[in-house]
Amino acid sequence: MKKIFFIFLILLISNNIFVFLCGIFMQTKYYEHFNKMQGAYLLDSALVLAIHDFEDNNQPEINKEIIFNKKKIGYSINKIDDEKIYIKVYYKQKDKIIYREYLKNI
């Protein structure tokens, strides 16, 4: 009887450890998704700001860095010809720069 109870207790403990590890895995995955979503939101915002900036100022080259929602985001615009502009939007995450590049018809 004691032996069976001991085995049951071991199973319970190992299951608890497994549940704990699962929790850590879930939390890590959640942060990954959260960072991705936040990054996409920052880049989308930077793109809108860049397009508005180009439409307002119409300069062939624009480089700007701003603080948006406590994060550093930036964009650079280069006019390729009379029909197209090249836009690069980015944000800084620790030491990495996450960016997207676009080609836009004027």
Partner 1 sequence: MNKRKIVFLFTIIFISVVLQYIFFVFTLKTIDLFRIINIKDTFNKILLLSTNIESEIPGLKTDDNSFILSMPSVDINKAFIINNKDYIIINFNKLNLSFNLIPSEISARKNKSIKFINVKSADIKDCGFITFSCSINNEIIESIFYMNKNIYLFPDNFKVF
Binding site for partner 1 (CB under 8 A): 8, 12, 15-16, 19, 22-23, 26, 29, 33, 36, 40, 47, 87, 99-105
- Cβ-based nearer residue to partner 1, 39 or 71: 39
Provide the minimum distance between the beta carbon of 63 and partner 1 in the complex, in angstroms, as a whole number. 18
Provide the minimum distance between the beta carbon of 47 and partner 1 in the complex, in angstroms, as a whole number. 8
- Cβ-based nearer residue to partner 1, 17 or 67: 17
Identify whether the C-beta of residue 66 lies closer than 8 Å to the C-beta of residue 76.
no
Cα distances (angstroms) measured from residue 52 to each of 75, 98, 103: 12, 21, 15
DSSP 5: H
C-alpha to C-alpha distance for 82 and 51, rounded to whole angstroms: 16
DSSP 70: T
- Cβ-based nearer residue to partner 1, 30 or 70: 30
Provide the minimum distance between the beta carbon of 17 and partner 1 in the complex, in angstroms, as a whole number. 11
Q: Give the β-pairing of 96-105 and 61-68.
A: unpaired
